[in-house]
Amino acid sequence: MVKEVSKAKPQLDFVGQREGEKLLFVFRRHMIAMRKGFYLLLIPFVVTSLPILIWSYDPVLFLLPIGGLALGLVLFAYHFMLWYFTIFIVTDQRIRQVTRRGFFGKDVVELRLSKIQNISYNIPGFSGELFKFGTIVIQTFVGDLVIHNVEHPDEIYNKLQDAVSHVVDGKEGYEEDIS
């Protein structure tokens, strides 16, 4: 999911935004990253439905799949929350990754666009082409920022390249004026 900020709309703000910093776009991982949540939704329901198939004469057993579905919904809601609240914010100065860790934990990683040396992406075979997801690798001197299961990695890659080249071009022009 890629959201672009239109020029006609007012500037959107986010927590931690610096003065004069402009939001370029926000993206999150593909729904395929939540596949574990989907499995945890289905497995309790299927397992609790098996006794009905074996002992179909006991009416109390019909309550088991409802309990399995309720448990599956709780587990799914947890994974959905982790997916939904993990976002990547790209501004004209930096990339900010906000990752949820459980109900109360949060990790924030920031990477200045001027420190990026290389950006690449990978689409993992047929399933990646079919569902339009892949991995983006952002390389710096310090290390790599690897973002797995990105929705439309080719579009995100192009937008990141544009943002980095804009910062690098602006910085090079600024250094030439000083010397």
At 101 the pLDDT is: 83
Q: What are phi and psi of 30, to 5 degrees?
A: -70, 155
CB-based contacts of 40-49 (< 8 A; 24+ apart in sequence):
40/72, 40/75, 40/76, 40/79, 41/72, 41/73, 41/75, 41/76, 42/72, 43/72, 44/68, 44/69, 44/71, 44/72, 44/75, 45/69, 45/72
At 139 the pLDDT is: 92
CA distance 155 to 43: 35
- pLDDT tens for the chain, 179 residues long, are 555 554 444 456 777 777 878 888 889 999 888 889 999 999 999 999 888 888 877 778 888 889 999 999 999 999 999 899 899 999 988 899 888 887 788 888 888 898 899 999 999 989 889 999 999 999 988 888 899 999 999 999 999 999 998 887 775 433 333 33
At 159 the pLDDT is: 93
At 137 the pLDDT is: 94
**Residue 108: strand pairing partners:** 98
